[in-house]
Each structure stands twice: as C-alpha cells, then as structure tokens.
Amino acid sequence: MSQKAQIGVTGLAVMGRNLARNFARHGHTVAVHNRSYGRTKELVDQFGHEGTFIPAESAEDFVAALERPRRVVIMVKAGPATDAVIEEFAPLLEEGDMLIDAGNAHYADTRRREAALKAKGLHFVGMGVSGGEEGALHGPSIMPGGPRESYDALGPLLEDIAAKVDGEPCCTHVGPDGAGHFVKMVHNGIEYADMQLIAEAYDLLRQVGGLSPQEIATTFGEWNSGRLGSYLIEITAEVLKQTDASTGRPFVDIVLDQAEQKGTGRWTVQAALDLGVPVSGIAESVFARALSGGADVRKAAADAGLPGPSAGAEHAGGDLRADVEQALFASKIVAYAQGFQQIQAASKEYGWEIDPGAMAKIWRAGCIIRAKFLDFIKQAYDKQPSLTTLLVDDYFLDAVSGAQDAWRRVVVTAAQQGIPAPGFASALAYYDGLRAKRLPAALIQGQRDFFGAHTYHRVDKEGSFHTLWATDDRTEVDA
C-alpha cells in the first residue's frame, strides 16, 4: 500500500465516525475500521469526499495501513468492549505504537490497561473527549493522559481537531496513566452539578415566581449574555422554549421527570469518597437524579400524602429572578471549586502533576461545561498555581460574598415553600462550613472517644488524648 494513514479510528458509531471525519477534514489520512465492515463502508460512501480515508476490513489491514509509530484511536462503549479491542490489536502492534482510548473509561481501568501495555512496549493513552457528537465533528475538548512521549507524536494531531479559543487548542497533555480519564470524569461530575443547579433555578422561577417555561427561557437567554454565559445555560433556554408538537404543551412538561445517568457522575463521587474530598455539590446532583428515578419511593410518598409547609411564604427581600441568578452563580462556583480540589487531590495521590489552570483552559470551548467563567478559573491558577480552593481567589471571593445575601434568601424561600433545592442548599452549607471558625466536629470527636476510645487532639497542646469516661472522675490520659 503506497499511502499510509497518520491515524486510525476503530469503532465507527457516531462518536468514532465524527472523530475520524474531523481528522480527515484537517488533512490527515485516516484509517477506519469497525467490527462490522458495513459501518466502515457507510462512512466512506457518505463522507469520503471530506478527506482521505483508508477503509480496512480486518484488524491486520487496519494496522498495516498506519504509519509508525501507529496511532490507533479506540471509540467503543467503555468497559469490556474496550478490553476486547485492546486484546485484538495489541498483538498486531510494535514497540512505541499507541492505543488511544477515547471512550468514557473509568480511570482505574485506564491505569490497569496502561500498566499492562507498557510491559509490552506499547503506549496506552486514556483520552477524555467532551462535546458530544457535534463536538467530535467540529472541535471537542480533549483530555489525553498517558506517557508524555506519546503526546509528542499524538498531540499535534489532537490539537488540530480540538476546539480553539483565540487560536489556542482545547487540548493538552493532562498527565500520566489515568490522569486524562480522571479529569474527564470530574468534568462530567461538574456537568451533573451544573445541570442540577440550573434545574433548581428553573424550578424556583416557575414554582415561586410563577413564570412560564417561555419566560424562563427568556431569563436564561439574558443570563447567558452575563457572567453565567455557558453552553448549558444556552441549551437550557432552547429546551425551555420548545413546544411539544403533538400536545402543544411546553416540552418540559411532557418529559417524564426521572433523570438518568450513565455513571460518570457516580464515579466522580465514589472517587471523591476514597480521596476524602467533599464534592457535596456533585454528590447532591447524583443523588437528586437517583431520587427522581426512585419511582416506587416517590409513589409511596405521594400515596401517603407527605405534607408540605402549611403556608407558602413569599420570597422575602429582593427580586426573585435576580436572587436566583446570584444563588446559581455562587453555587456553581462552589461546585467547580470542589471539582478542582478533587483533581488536585488525585494528582497528588497518583503523582500526576496536573496543572489545574491548564484544565480550566481546555474546558473553555468544545466541552459540555464550557463557560465564560473558566477564564477566571484559569487566571486564578495562573496567579497562584498552588491555590488551595478557588473560593479564596479574589474574583470568586468577591462574587460569592456579593451573592451570599441573595443566595441565603433563595435557600430560605425554597425551604419555606417546600421546594427541593439540594444543590443550592448544600453549596451554601459547604461555604458556611469552610467559613466556620469552629465546627461541631469537636463534639463528634468527643462522642467517638466516649464510645470507642478513639482519642482526640486538643487545641492547646500536642499529642493524642483519651478521657476515661467510665471512671467517676473522668480523667484525661495521654493516648
């Protein structure tokens, strides 16, 4: 075969197909392969004119079509299918070749796969890709992990197809082994939190403010031109504007109110529990989806007629719309602060040396959580790379302190009117928890020492102590 491909894509469902087209549209020759050849043929028949594709029927032909070091992008459903593809291709590859998993894999699987392939002299790149089908075709945000040297050979191609902000690609080497997939996972966790907060804002405007979905769409449209400007706010306005063709009712009223998930938000929370990072905003959003989907429990509550508040108090203080905007912005800042803290904790745990500012930078376009305020996150880490929490950066501190009165009013109104706003409320509780000079954790330490002799530290001297609770004089001893 005369012409060789710079990159290959195996797995040609819509994401893989669009990634392959994106590479081809950028002038790269792309080898394409799928388990069933029909899809490969379909791609070339439909989109062959967009660039140069080398369709391969077998794994052997596919590998033979690639220049060295070979770059093989795998785009299959995360899980056993990924292992099956690796098992199929790894024996056909040579030292220094790259297998690039572009699916939403769990970072622990990526670590395992990377270690196993490294032993065979192959480079495994766990690569987060965000932006859905459209992003894959027109410019996603790309979060590749894996060996640094593989980025030297792969990065330029990825940077070509990535989304751009002022000409700068939304793609960078995240860190070794599972770092790329970890960051993509947290991206999705933040996505869940963002969506939950937006949903709570909508619910309050509708139930407390009495606004129609159309009016709320207009409000989101306005917010989108301000500091909340983001893809998720923009599409929320579109969804709320939509009218159901068959009933003439607002689209949002004919959709079953049970949110589903593929699991990346849940993984984020599981990983955060192991790392001991309180990502309460993400956790609330995962649990809120689970609560919405708990049809049996909701039915039992409805059947029992669980009572709500006796009188619906008015929203006290400010203008509800303006207050909800403030609550949304402040809670969003908390969710991002928690997500970034989780990335930093994992980076430390696994020795990934992830640059958090660079993550904010590559999330500014292409991905689902792209938002204006990521510029400020980037600036915060540029100013202070070791920033402990975004909340203490000047911009965010000002934003949250400016928002807090409105934020508190919104949480009060939600509680008084019996409208669930777990995202807003827990973000506020987290903020107050961080602010607190003394936390009741001291009492918990006392309880632990009482029933389990678990010991405690004192504020006034070094060491561990235990009180002999069972004795009459309850003396304290060194532990």
Question: Catalytic positions, please?
Answer: 184, 191
Q: Is 18 annotated as a binding residue?
A: no
In the complex, what is the shortest distance from the CB of residue 104 to ligand 6PG, in angstroms, rounded to a whole number? 5
Instruction: Report DSSP state, residue 427.
Output: H
Token duo for residue 385: 């790379």
The answer to whether the Cα torsion of 220, 225, 226, 232 is positive or negative is positive
15 marked as binding residue: yes
With contact defined as beta carbons under 8 Å apart, do 435 and 338 qualify? no
Kindly give, in sequence order, each residue whose CB lies less than 8 Å from that of residue 418, ignoring residues fewer than 6 positions away: 308, 309
In the complex, minimum distance from the CB of residue 263 to ligand 6PG, in angstroms, rounded to a whole number: 6
Site membership for ligand 6PG, residue 368 (CB under 6 A)? yes
Strand pairing of 476-478 and 164-165? unpaired
If phi > 0 it is left, if psi is from -120 to 50 it is alpha, else beta; for residue 174 that is alpha
Closest separation in Å from C-beta 220 to ligand 6PG: 20
Phi first, then psi: what are they for 57, rounded to 5°? -85, -40
CB of 175 to ligand 6PG, least distance (A): 19
14 assigned to a ligand binding site: yes
Is residue 117 within 8 A of residue 85, CB to CB? The reply is no
User: Is residue 262 involved in binding ligand 6PG (CB under 6 A)?
Assistant: yes
Tell me which amino acid residue 146 is: G
The site string for ligand 6PG over 105-134 (x = CB under 6 A, - otherwise) reads -------------------------xxx--
Question: Between residues 104 and 341, which has the closer beta carbon with respect to ligand 6PG?
Answer: 104
* Tokens matching residue 391: 């909340």
Among 10, 172, 188, 413, binds ligand 6PG (CB under 6 A): 188
The residue count for the chain: 479
Give the CB-nearest residue to ligand 6PG. Answer: 130
CB 363 within 8 A of CB 187: yes
In whole angstroms, what is the distance from residue 269 CA to residue 280 CA? 8
Q: Which is nearer to ligand 6PG, 113 or 187 (CB)?
A: 187
For the bound state, the minimum distance from the C-beta of residue 340 to ligand 6PG, rounded and expressed in Å, comes to 17
Q: How far is CA 275 from the centre of its chain?
A: 17
CB nearer to ligand 6PG: pick between 6 and 196 = 196
* Complex with ligand 6PG: residue 258 or 401, whichever CB lies closer: 258
Distance CA 122, CA 72 (A): 11
Of 69-108, binders to ligand 6PG (CB under 6 A) are: 104
Q: How far is residue 270's CA from residue 283's CA, in Å, rounded to a whole number?
A: 9
262 annotated among ligand-binding-site residues: yes
Closest to ligand 6PG by CB, 132 vs 317, is 132
Which residues make up the interface to ligand 6PG (CB under 6 A)? 104, 130-132, 188, 191, 261-262, 264-265, 367-368
Binding residues for substrate: 104, 130-132, 187-188, 192, 262, 289, 448, 454
Binding-site annotation: residue ranges for NADP(+): 11-16, 34-36, 76-78, 104
Binding residues: 11-16, 34-36, 76-78, 104, 130-132, 187-188, 192, 262, 289, 448, 454
